Structure 1
Amino acid sequence: MSHSYEPAARQAWQWLETVARFSETRDPDREGVTRRCATPEHRDVLEALGGWMRELGMAVRMDNGANLIGRHASATPGARTLLLGSHQDTVPHGGKYDGILGVILPLALIKYLQDHAIELPFHIDVVAFSDEEGTRFSSTLLGSKVLAGSFDDAMLEASDDDGVTLREALEAFGCRPERIAEDRYAPEEVLAFLEVHIEQGPQLELEDLPVGVVSAITGIERHRLTIQGLAGHAGTVPMHVRQDALVGAAEVIRQVDTLCRETDDLVGVVGKIENAPNGVNVIPQTTTLSIELRSPRDEIRRKARDTLLERIDSALTASRLGFDHALTYEQSAVQCSAWLSEELQGAVRDSGLPPRVLFSGAGHDGLAMRSLCDIGMLFLRCEGGISHHPGEAIEPEDLTAAVEVLVHVCHRLAKRHAAV
Structure 2
Amino acid sequence: MTTSPLPNELDWTDLAGRTLACCLEIAACTEEPGRITRTFLCSAMRGTHARLDRWAASLGLQTHEDAAGNWRATRRSGRPGARTLVIGSHLDSVPNAGAYDGVLGVVLGLGLLEALGDTPLPYHVELVGFSEEEGVRFGVPFIGSRALIGTAQELLTVTDAQGKTVAQAIIEYGLDVAQLAGAQLKADVLGYFEMHIEQGPVLEAEGRSLAAVSAIAGQSRLNLTFTGKANHAGTTPMSLRRDALTGASALVLAAENLARNTPGLVATVGALRPLPGASNVIPGEVQLTLDIRHARDEVRLGALDELLTLAGQIAEERGLSFAHELRLEEHATPMDPGLTALLGEALEAEGHVAAPMVSGAGHDAMLLGQVWPASMLFLRSPGGLSHHPDEAVREEDVAAALRVGTRFLRRLAEREEAR
Q: Is the shorter-chain TM-score for this pair beyond 0.5, marking a shared fold?
A: yes
Greater shift in the superposed pair: 160-169 or 83-92: 160-169
C-alpha spacing 1:326/1:38, structure 2 compared with 1 (3 Å):
closer
How many angstroms apart in 2 are the aligned matches of 1:154 and 1:332?
18
TM-score (norm 2): 0.95
* Aligned-pair CA distance for 1:62: 1.1
Q: 2:258 matched to which residue of 1?
A: 259
Q: Does 1:89 align with 2:96?
A: no
Q: Deviations 1:341-375 (Å, cap 9, x if unpaired)?
A: 11111110111111131111111111221243111
Q: 2:400 matched to which residue of 1?
A: 401
* Aligned-pair CA distance for 1:162: 3.1
2:257 corresponds to which letter in structure 1?
T
Q: Does 1:157 align with 2:160?
A: no
Q: 1:359 matched to which residue of 2?
A: 358
1:171 corresponds to which letter in structure 2?
I
Q: 2:22 matched to which residue of 1?
A: 15
Q: Does 1:129 align with 2:130?
A: yes
2:236 corresponds to which letter in structure 1?
V
How many angstroms apart in 1 are the aligned matches of 2:161 and 2:297?
34
Partner secondary structure for residue 89 of structure 2: strand
* Aligned-pair CA distance for 1:315: 2.8
Partner secondary structure for residue 410 of structure 2: helix
After TM superposition, the structure 1 = structure 2 runs for residues 312-351 of structure 1, keeping only pairs within 5 Å, are: 312-351=311-350
- Tell me, yes or no, if the aligned pair for 1:220 and 1:294 is still in contact at 8 Å: yes
Q: 1:75 matched to which residue of 2?
A: 78
- Tell me, yes or no, if the aligned pair for 2:61 and 2:73 is still in contact at 8 Å: yes
Q: 2:167 matched to which residue of 1?
A: 167
* Aligned-pair CA distance for 1:394: 0.6
Q: 2:205 matched to which residue of 1?
A: 206
Gaps of 5+ in 1: none
How many angstroms apart in 2 are the aligned matches of 1:292 and 1:10?
37
Partner secondary structure for residue 406 of structure 1: helix
C-alpha spacing 1:316/1:172, structure 2 compared with 1 (3 Å):
closer
Aligned length: 412
TM-score (norm 1): 0.94
Q: 2:37 matched to which residue of 1?
A: 34
* Aligned-pair CA distance for 1:306: 1.8
Greater shift in the superposed pair: 221-230 or 208-217: 221-230
Q: 2:181 matched to which residue of 1?
A: 181
* Aligned-pair CA distance for 1:209: 1.0
Q: Deviations 1:16-50 (Å, cap 9, x if unpaired)?
A: 111111112334xxx4x101121111111011111
Greater shift in the superposed pair: 171-180 or 261-270: 171-180
RMSD between aligned residues: 1.6
Deviating above 4 A after TM superposition, structure 1's stretches of 4 or more consecutive aligned residues are none
- Tell me, yes or no, if the aligned pair for 2:232 and 2:282 is still in contact at 8 Å: yes
Greater shift in the superposed pair: 177-186 or 42-51: 177-186
- Tell me, yes or no, if the aligned pair for 1:212 and 1:357 is still in contact at 8 Å: yes
Q: Deviations 1:367-386 (Å, cap 9, x if unpaired)?
A: 22124311111001011111
- Tell me, yes or no, if the aligned pair for 2:311 and 2:322 is still in contact at 8 Å: no
* Aligned-pair CA distance for 1:72: 1.7
How many angstroms apart in 2 are the aligned matches of 1:212 and 1:12?
19
After TM superposition, the structure 1 = structure 2 runs for residues 93-132 of structure 1, keeping only pairs within 5 Å, are: 93-114=96-117, 117-132=118-133
- Tell me, yes or no, if the aligned pair for 2:70 and 2:129 is still in contact at 8 Å: yes
How many angstroms apart in 2 are the aligned matches of 1:230 and 1:353?
58
C-alpha spacing 1:162/1:327, structure 2 compared with 1 (3 Å):
closer
- Tell me, yes or no, if the aligned pair for 1:149 and 1:372 is still in contact at 8 Å: no
Q: 1:244 matched to which residue of 2?
A: 243
How many angstroms apart in 2 are the aligned matches of 1:20 and 1:379?
21
C-alpha spacing 1:186/1:291, structure 2 compared with 1 (3 Å):
same
How many angstroms apart in 2 are the aligned matches of 1:256 and 1:223?
13
